Amino acid sequence: MIGISEEFENMLKDDKRDPPRNTEGALNKFEPGGALGPIEDRNEYEQRLDALPPAQKQLAQESTRLADLCQYFSLQKIDIPLEIVEQVAGLSRLTTTERIRALIDINRALVEYLNDVGKDPGIRQ
């Protein structure tokens, strides 16, 4: 019969033989050049979109539009309205079809907001 200390020593020996997996390498696929990394070439982006099933393709397109709008808002130093931020925060709880519809509505609302913000009210007296 093996005592507790002997069993513990055996476990330590096993741990030394099998080092823990390195998870850092798993994240490399999100780096530039990785399978899921950013795509700079517009043609490659279109090819990857075309390879997706229709619902995922539409989701990717609407998500890209949202990302482009958010980048524009950031560059122009325009705050996104709180109600739209809350809608974006809730996207993860929706099904793919609901998420696509919500993204279309969010993107439309952001463009309309930009249009409203961009109007020059002139001099008020």
pLDDT higher than 60, residue 101:
yes
User: Between helices 82-89 and 96-118, what is the axis angle to 10°?
Assistant: 160
Q: Which two tokens stand for residue 44?
A: 């490659």
Please give the pLDDT value at position 29: 72
Please state, in angstroms and as integers, the Cα–Cα distance from residue 59 to each residue in 2, 22, 30, 33, following that order.
58, 32, 19, 23
pLDDT higher than 60, residue 87:
yes
- Mean pLDDT along residues 102-120: 89
pLDDT higher than 80, residue 112:
yes
Average pLDDT, the chain: 79
- Mean pLDDT along residues 78-101: 95
Considering the chain, what percentage of its residues have pLDDT values greater than 70? Answer: 69
pLDDT higher than 70, residue 106:
yes
pLDDT tens across 32-80, in order? 767 666 777 778 778 888 888 999 999 999 999 999 999 999 999 999 9
Please give the pLDDT value at position 125: 41
Q: Which two tokens stand for residue 57?
A: 């393709």
Predicted TM-score (pTM) of this structure: 0.66
Helix (H) or strand (E) run with residue 30 in it: none
Q: Which residues touch 102 (CB under 8 Å, ≥6 apart)?
A: 87, 90, 91, 94
Please give the pLDDT value at position 73: 94
